[in-house]
C-alpha cells in the first residue's frame, strides 16, 4: 500500500504506464497469509517490483510505449516476470520507456517523457535554483521508468532491458544499482526484442546485494529461450568482506572519450585510486576498436529492427489503421500511425543495410567489426585482468529542454559509448552510484566482468558501494 500510495504521489514523474493496483493488493494479501502461516517463499515474498513495459505480462497490457501496442494484452508472462511472481514478489506496475527501447533518454515514448526524481530533490533545487515545473532532468534510457521507480522508492526492484546500455544508463543517471547480466544467463522469453543477439533483461535495485539476490533467482536455462545457459537458480548472497587485494582492475584508455565531464573523470580516478590503495592491481589497458562501436552497433541494431518490426503489420498484433483501400495501403498506414519517427527511421535504414547490394558492405562488415570489439575484451581478460572499471555515462543527467534541443538521435547514440561495446561482447556489467555531481545529480561507475563471472563482479561492486 505504501508503494501504491507513493506511485500516486509521484505521478508527475510519469514513471509508470500501467499501475497494477488490484493485482498488487491481491498478491500482497496472499503473501501476508503465507507469512502468518510461516510459509514464506523466500526473500522476495511480498516485495513490490516494477517491470519495463516491453516484458509481456499475462492479462496486463504491454505497450512498448508505442501506439502500435497501446491496447495489446499478452496471454502469458515473460519468464523473468513469472519467476519473480513464483517467488511471491508483488507486481506494482509496468514502467515507461523509449518506444520499443530505442533511445537513451526515456523522452521518446508515446506516453510522454519520464522525469528524473532527482530533479525534485533538495541538492538539485539548491544548487541550480530550479523551479519544479519549468526545469527538470531526464532519467536516461531507455528503461527510465524502471530507474525512476526504484529511485523514487515506489518499488524495491525493477526489470529493465539492456541492448546497448538501456539499464545501466538510466541506473547511473537516477542513482540506482543497474545490472546487465552475461548474455544468456537470463531468459529473454517474453521480452519484446530489439536486437536479439544483444538483448538481456536488466535488474535495478537500491543496493548491490539486492541485485545479487534477484540475479540468483532469475538466472538459468529456459527451454523457451535456446540462447540461455545453465546456472543454478539459487539464493546468492555476496560475501560480506570481499578482499580486492588479488583483483586486477583494467582502465581502458580509449574510454577517456570526448564529452566525458571533468566530474565523472574525477570520480573514475578516485575509485581507481581507492582500489590501488586497497591493494588491488590497477593497470591501463587498451580496447582499440572502441571507436567503431557506436557505428557498428547501429548498423546491426537497425538491421535487426527492420526484421523484428516486420511482425507489426496490423493483422496479428496491436494497432490496425482504418485505411483499407488495399492490403498494401493498410500495412503502410498502420505502420505510419503506429510507430514514432525513431522506429520508422531505423526500419528504413535497416532495410537499406540489408538490401542485396548492401548486405556485404554494411551488415556482414558490421558483424566482423563486432567480433573485433568482442576480441578486444577477450585479449584484455586473457592478460590477467579480472574486470574493467569505467564511467557509465559521459555526464550527469541532461535537462529535458537541452536533451530535446540537440539532435536527439545523435545525442542518444553518443551517450552509449561506454555501455554498448559490452553488449557486443555479451559480457556482464554493473553500474553503481558513487557520488553526486555539483548540480546535485547522481554519477555512476561501471564494472565490466568476464563472461559468466557476474557474481564476482557484484562482489567487487559491493566493495565500491
Ligand atoms: N540507446 C541505444 C539505442 O537506442 C540502446 C538501447 C537499449 O539498450 N535498449 O538503441
pLDDT in tens, 151-175: 999 999 999 999 999 999 999 999 9
Report the separation in Å between the CA atom of 301 and the middle of ligand 1, taken as the mean of its atom positions. 9
H or E segment at 36? Answer: helix 21-36
Angle at 259 between CA 258 and CA 261, to 5 degrees: 120
- What are the φ and ψ backbone dihedral angles of 47, each rounded to 5 degrees? -85, 125
Q: Find, among 41, 30, 28, 37, the residue nearest to 90 by Cα.
A: 28
Q: Note the pLDDT of residue 190.
A: 98
Does ligand 1 lie within 6 Å of residue 419's CB atom? no
Q: Ligand 1 centre from 243 Cα, in Å?
A: 35
Predicted local distance difference test score (pLDDT) of residue 412? 65
pLDDT tens-place string over residues 174-215? 999 999 999 999 999 999 999 999 999 999 999 999 999 999
Distance in angstroms (rounded) separating the CA atoms of residues 444 and 465: 11
Q: What is the 3-state secondary structure of 208-239?
A: HHHHHHHHHHHCCCECCECCCCCCCCCCCCCC
> How far away, in angstroms, is 442 Cα from ligand 1 center?
21
Percentage of the chain lying above the pLDDT 90 cut: 91
Kindly give the number of the ligand 1 atom that is closest to the alpha carbon of 423. Answer: 8
- Return the residue whose CA atom lies nearest to atom 10 of ligand 1: 102
Pocket test for ligand 1, best of 165, 181, 298, 393 (most atoms within 8 A of CB): 165
Pocket test for ligand 1, best of 166, 192, 301, 417 (most atoms within 8 A of CB): 166
Ligand 1 centroid–CA 400 distance in Å is 18
Burial 96-123 (b: 16+ CB within 10 A, else e): bbbbbbbbbbbbbbbbebbbbbbbbbee
CA of 138 to the centre of ligand 1 (A): 15
Q: Is the CB of 164 under 6 A from ligand 1?
A: yes
Q: Pick out the chain residues at pLDDT < 70.
A: 406-412
Name the pairing type of β-strands 48-52 and 177-180. Answer: unpaired
169 lines ligand 1 (CB under 6 A): no
Pairing of strands 200-205, 157-162: antiparallel
Q: Output the DSSP codes for 158-217.
A: EEEEESSSTTHHHHHHHT-EEEEPPTTTS--TTBPPSSTTT-EEEEEESSHHHHHHHHHH
Describe the crossing of helices 2-9 and 21-36 by its angle, rounded to 10 degrees: 160
pLDDT score for 406:
66
DSSP annotation of 326 reads S
State the pLDDT at residue 101: 98
Q: Are 73 and 62 within 8 A, CB to CB?
A: yes
Q: Is 412 in the pocket of ligand 1 (CB under 6 A)?
A: yes
- pLDDT tens digits, one per residue of 352-371: 999 999 999 999 999 999 99
Q: Which of 147, 211, 188, 94 is nearest to 426 (CA)?
A: 188
**pLDDT in the model for residue 316:** 86
Residue to substitute in 65, 107, 141 for testing ligand 1 pocket (most ligand atoms within 8 angstroms of CB):
141
Model's pTM, two decimal places? 0.97
pLDDT in tens, 227-252: 999 987 777 789 888 899 989 999 99
ipTM: 0.97
* Active-site position among 146, 166, 209, 412: 166
Residue 116 is classified by DSSP as P
- Provide the CB-side half-sphere exposure for 250 (13 A, CA): 24
Does ligand 1 come within 6 angstroms of the Cβ of 101? yes
CA 169 – ligand 1 centroid, Å:
10
d(CA 234, CA 249): 28
Our answer on whether the CB atom of 165 is closer than 6 Å to any ligand 1 atom is: yes
Please confirm, yes or no, whether 166 is among the known catalytic residues: yes
Report pLDDT for 193. 98
Distance, CA 289 to ligand 1 centroid (Å)? 19
Q: Is residue 225 within 8 Å of 336, Cβ to Cβ? A: no
Alpha carbons within 13 angstroms on the beta-carbon side of residue 407 total 4
Q: Is the CB of 103 inside a 6 Å radius of any atom of ligand 1? A: yes
146 lines ligand 1 (CB under 6 A): no
User: Is residue 412 annotated as part of the catalytic site, yes or no?
Assistant: no
**Ligand 1 pocket check for 162: Cβ under 6 Å:** yes
Torsion 190-193-197-203 (CA) sign = negative
In sequence order, which residues have a C-beta less than 8 Å from that of residue 374 and are 6 or more positions away? Answer: 424, 425, 426
Q: Report percent pLDDT > 70 for the chain.
A: 98
pLDDT of residue 408: 58
For residues 239 and 419, give the distance between their C-alpha atoms in angstroms, rounded to a whole number.
Answer: 27
Omega before 10 within 30 of 0, i.e. cis: no
- Cα 236 to averaged position of ligand 1 atoms, centre (Å): 29
Helix axes of 327-338 and 341-354: crossing angle, nearest 10 degrees = 120
Question: Is 104 a known active-site residue?
Answer: no
Task: Give the ranges where 325-416 is alpha helix by DSSP (H).
Answer: 327-338, 341-354, 365-382, 400-405, 408-415
Q: 104 CB less than 6 Å from ligand 1?
A: yes
Amino acid at each position: 500500500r505504501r508503494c501504491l500510495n507513493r506511485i500516486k504521489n509521484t505521478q508527475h514523474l510519469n514513471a509508470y504506464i500501467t499501475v497494477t493496483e488490484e493485482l498488487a493488493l491481491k498478491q500482497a494479501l496472499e503473501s501476508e497469509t503465507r507469512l502468518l502461516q510461516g510459509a514464506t517463499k523466500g526473500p522476495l515474498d511480498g516485495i513490490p517490483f516494477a517491470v519495463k513495459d516491453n516484458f509481456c505480462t499475462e492479462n496486463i497490457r504491454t505497450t512498448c510505449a508505442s501506439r502500435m501496442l497501446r491496447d495489446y494484452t499478452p496471454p502469458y508472462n515473460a519468464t523473468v516476470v513469472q519467476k519473480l511472481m513464483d517467488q511471491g514478489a508483488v507486481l506494482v506496475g509496468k514502467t515507461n520507456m523509449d518506444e520499443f527501447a530505442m533511445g537513451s533518454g526515456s523522452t521518446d515514448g508515446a506516453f510522454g517523457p519520464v522525469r528524473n526524481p532527482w530533479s525534485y530533490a533538495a541538492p538539485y533545487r539548491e544548487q541550480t535554483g530550479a523551479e519544479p515545473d519549468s526545469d527538470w532532468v531526464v532519467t536516461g534510457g531507455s528503461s527510465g521508468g524502471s530507474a525512476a521507480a526504484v529511485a523514487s522508492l515506489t518499488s524495491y526492484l525493477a526489470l529493465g532491458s539492456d541492448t546497448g546500455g538501456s539499464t545501466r544508463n538510466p541506473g547511473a543517471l537516477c542513482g540506482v544499482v543497474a545490472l546487465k547480466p552475461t548474455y544468456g544467463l537470463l531468459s529473454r522469453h517474453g521480452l519484446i526484442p530489439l536486437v536479439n543477439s544483444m538483448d538481456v533483461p536488466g535488474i535495478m535495485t537500491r543496493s548491490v546485494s539486492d541485485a545479487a539476490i534477484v540475479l540468483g533467482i532469475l538466472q538459468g536455462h529456459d527451454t523457451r529461450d535456446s540462447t540461455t545457459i545453465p546456472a543454478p537458480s539459487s539464493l546468492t548472497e555476496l560475501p560480506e568482506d570481499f578482499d580486492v587485494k588479488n583483483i586486477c582492475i583494467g582502465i581502458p584508455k580509449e574510454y577517456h572519450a570526448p564529452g566525458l565531464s571533468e566530474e565523472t573523470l574525477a570520480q573514475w580516478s578516485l575509485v581507481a585510486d581507492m582500489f590501488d590503495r586497497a591493494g588491488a592491481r590497477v593497470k591501463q589497458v587498451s580496447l582499440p576498436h572502441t571507436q567503431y562501436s557506436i557505428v557498428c552497433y547501429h548498423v546491426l541494431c537497425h538491421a535487426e529492427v527492420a526484421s523484428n518490426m516486420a511482425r507489426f503489420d496490423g493483422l496479428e498484433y496491436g494497432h490496425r489503421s482504418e485505411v483499407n483501400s488495399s492490403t498494401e495501403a493498410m500495412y503502410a498506414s498502420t505502420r505510419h500511425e503506429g510507430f514514432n519517427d525513431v522506429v520508422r527511421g531505423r526500419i528504413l535504414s535497416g532495410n537499406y543495410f540489408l538490401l542485396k547490394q548492401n548486405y556485404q558492405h554494411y551488415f556482414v562488415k558490421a558483424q566482423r567489426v563486432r567480433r573485433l570489439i568482442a576480441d578486444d575484451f577477450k585479449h584484455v581478460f586473457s592478460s590477467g585482468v579480472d574486470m574493467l572499471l569505467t564511467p557509465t555515462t559521459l555526464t550527469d543527467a541532461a535537462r529535458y529542454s537541452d536533451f530535446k534541443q540537440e539532435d536527439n538521435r545523435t545525442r542518444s547514440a553518443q551517450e552509449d559509448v561506454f555501455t554498448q561495446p559490452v553488449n557486443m561482447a555479451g559480457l556482464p556489467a554493473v553500474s553503481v552510484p558513487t557520488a553526486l555531481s555539483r548540480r546535485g545529480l547522481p554519477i555512476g561507475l561501471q564494472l565490466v566482468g568476464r563472461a559468466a563471472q557476474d557474481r564476482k563482479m557484484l562482489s567487487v561492486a559491493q566493495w565500491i558501494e
